[in-house]
Amino acid sequence: MKKIFFLLIGATLTIGAMAQDSARKAGMKDMRKDIRDVRADKSARAADIAAGNKAAAKAETKDIKADKKDIQSDKKTLQSEGVKHPIRRAKKQIHNANVAKKNG
């Protein structure tokens, strides 16, 4: 009876840990996407400013601010899930993916 009880408790804890891990992975994926969006928007804003298109540049600035706000909310969520330095980790993951893509 004890063996079955401990087996069920162990299985429950394992399933719970796996569910948290998938939530963290999804959160980190969302953060990487948001950071890439900010970088792309900054590039587009610079091109708009160079072309003299102030209205489009202003729209890009609003988009950048919204993305940064989303990044900060994702940061809080990931930190509550136990991820240390989520923004730094996401930037490092983006860098590693870019290097791997460049090298082969």
The full DSSP string for 22-65 is HHHHHHHHHHHHHHHHHHHHHHHHHHHHHHT-HHHHHHHHHHHH
The tens digit of pLDDT for each residue in 29-38 reads 999 999 999 9
- For the chain, the structural domain boundaries read 26-103
What's residue 3's pLDDT? 80
Predicted local confidence at residue 19, as pLDDT: 58
pTM of the model: 0.77
Measured between alpha carbons, how far is 15 from 10 in angstroms, rounded to an integer? 9
Q: Is 80 exceeded by the pLDDT of residue 26?
A: yes
List pLDDT tens digits, range 65-95.
999 999 999 999 999 999 999 999 999 999 9
Sign of the torsion formed by the C-alpha atoms of 19, 88, 84 and 99: positive
Q: Is 78 helix (H, G, I), strand (E, B) or coil?
A: helix
Gyration radius of the chain's alpha carbons: 20
- % of the chain residues with pLDDT over 90: 73
The larger pLDDT score, comparing residue 24 to residue 35, is at 35
